[in-house]
Structure 1
Amino acid sequence: MTDVHTPPRATPAEAVYRDHRDHLVRLAYLLTGSREQAEDLVQQAFASAWDRWQAIDQPLPYLKRAIVNQAADARRRGIRDRLFRQRARVEPITEVPELDETWAHIKTLPPHQRAVVVLHYYDDRPLNEIAELLSRPAATVRSDLRRALERLRKVLR
């Protein structure tokens, strides 16, 4: 007779973590430029959601919003700058020099513009969804994207 153990069933929070953690870390990395900080932001987002998980209707948008907000807070506090000074070199995000150059300029955008660019072009979110995610009017998000693209066009010519 063999003893068959049924693995415990994952909670909804564990399932979201398992299915979306890597994507959320990449999103956080694009917002912060730091792999370590990206990992921390994702952990913080899940930790803050844990106690109220049952009340969260749409966990993935909730977590993305938390990560965007935490990234902006971290930037204001200067955490990102301290992490960059501690590292010997910045890891390239691609092997294509043109993309690394573009990314270097995206990192210089103001946090709200960078968030819109990353969510729209990396996360493939429509502008109305980004507006909802960031709690900003859709017109403001469109304006942020337009200004970010104008700024990038000037420096990438």
Structure 2
Amino acid sequence: MLAAAVAGRAYALNHQPEQARQALTAADALMDRLTESERSDTWLTYGEQKHHVHLSHAFTTLGDTRRAGETQQRALEPSAPTSTMTRALLTIDGAVCAHHDGDSEQACRRTVAALTALPSDYRVGLVRRRALDLYEAIPAQHHRERAVRELRNVLAG
């Protein structure tokens, strides 16, 4: 399951939407076959949250904002409030969906809120990369807008 979900993300990131959708469909089918104990969230199992976090990023990358939103919600349901990284990544995925749907200002505001809620040591790596990808996806003519500038400033800080 993890391999199928990760393959779906990889295909999506490499602009291969048909292969991505096939892999995501396979990941869902495999997930449906797991027993409750196999879905528990341990090091040796493949939990619901993990599954939906992977799907969220894949569907977000594909621009399928409806499916992405559904998977983001399902990933947040079992998420503990202390899962700061997971929640930040899902928030940024949701923000990218807002950008895809034409609301770049809201996307920037949500991303700034997610980043500033994190301790500075957590604003690196994958979280920073996803936020930077959003910033870079916004056309340059909008970079002078307040919300976009705020995102750039948080990324620079």
State if a TM-score over 0.5 links the two structures: no
Larger Cα-atom Rg: 1
Higher relative contact order (CA 8 A, sep 6+): 1
TM-score normalised per structure 1: 0.30
